[in-house]
């Protein structure tokens, strides 16, 4: 069987959590592009983000992908329509799948969204959830990303920082909120820690897992009727980065939970 070629784009390494979730569910050839030379996207204008993201999307399309996943909250929130217009393959972003799953599992129709400053400022998740009839409180948690990249996944400092953020969110959010939506691709690595410090009634929705589910649905619909040997691992991975490949390899190994030995450097210019 010919496996699909899935392109995954992020401004850095956070989107590797989406790749990790997809690879656990879907046999495919994966091509991951991290625009590490130009991150963070969240401090840039929508026009700049669109220019960077569409350039990377076209690069991945030129590698022969069948499907493009925008595993970047800033790019999804600020540039998804322009990315969709720039390529001829189907495009899936991270916002809608996460919002859809949060809506499906919430009994009280109320959620807390934690994300970076840029994603909160875009209000993309708020709009998506409100469109599904939900109340939303958004909380920016800017310190969590550097703590995750430092490798402090289960560190007391990280736990204390998360407790402060979630305490502030709980005090400001609607009392009946029963979903915590992780709207940053770094945050899935903190799920065990967050589970310890959130109330038992709150469901944690991981936008990386939600996006993987959306991709699986698309792949299964296109592969329907084609036999696949589930006993064999036919997955393959290629990695592209626009900055230091050594730093990318180090972080990628941590985020993916598998050794990453080869990363190809790409210079898209401007």
Q: Which residues are catalytic?
A: 72, 184
Query: How far, in Å, are 88, 241, 256 from residue 91 at the CA level?
Result: 9, 20, 22
Task: Find the Cα–Cα–Cα–Cα dihedral 106, 124, 205, 44, rounded to 10°.
Answer: -160
**Residue 28 class from Cβ within 10 Å (0-12 exposed, 13-18 middle, 19+ buried)?**
buried
The residue with tokens 């953020």 is 165
φ, ψ of residue 249 to 5 degrees: the values are -60, -40
The tokens for 75 are 């790019």
Read off the DSSP letter of residue 89: S
Contact between residue 242 and residue 37 where contact means Cβ atoms under 8 Å apart: yes
**Residue 42 class from Cβ within 10 Å (0-12 exposed, 13-18 middle, 19+ buried)?**
buried
Query: How far, in Å, are 6, 64, 182, 207 from residue 220 at the CA level?
Result: 13, 19, 26, 20
Best CA proximity match to 39, nearest among 118, 120, 97, 139: 118
Burial 224-246 (b: 16+ CB within 10 A, else e): eeeeeeeeeeeeebbbbbbbebe
């Amino acid at each position: 069987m010919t496996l699909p070629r899935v392109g995954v784009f992020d401004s850095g390494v956070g989107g590797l959590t989406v790749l990790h979730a997809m690879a656990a569910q879907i046999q495919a050839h994966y091509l991951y592009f991290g625009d590490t030379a130009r991150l963070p996207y969240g401090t840039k204008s929508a026009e700049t983000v669109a220019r960077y993201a569409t350039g990377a999307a076209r690069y991945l399309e030129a590698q022969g992908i069948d499907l493009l996943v925008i595993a970047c909250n800033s790019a999804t929130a600020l540039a998804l329509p322009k990315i969709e217009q720039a390529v001829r393959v189907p495009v899936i972003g991270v916002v809608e799948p996460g919002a859809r799953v949060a809506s499906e599992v919430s009994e009280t129709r109320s959620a807390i969204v934690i994300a970076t400053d840029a994603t909160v400022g875009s209000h993309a998740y708020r709009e998506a959830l409100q469109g599904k009839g939900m109340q939303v409180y958004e909380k920016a948690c800017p310190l969590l990303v550097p703590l995750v990249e430092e490798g402090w996944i289960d560190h007391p400092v990280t736990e204390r920082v998360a407790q402060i953020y979630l305490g502030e969110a709980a005090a400001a959010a609607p009392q009946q909120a029963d979903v915590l939506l992780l709207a940053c691709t770094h945050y899935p690595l903190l799920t065990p820690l967050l589970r310890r410090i959130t109330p038992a009634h709150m469901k944690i929705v991981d936008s990386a897992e939600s996006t993987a589910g959306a991709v699986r649905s698309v792949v299964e619909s296109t592969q329907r009727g084609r036999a696949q040997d589930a006993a064999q691992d036919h997955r393959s991975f290629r990695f592209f980065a626009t900055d230091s490949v050594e730093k990318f390899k180090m972080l990628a190994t941590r985020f993916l939970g598998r050794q990453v030995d080869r990363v190809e450097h790409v210079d898209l210019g401007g």
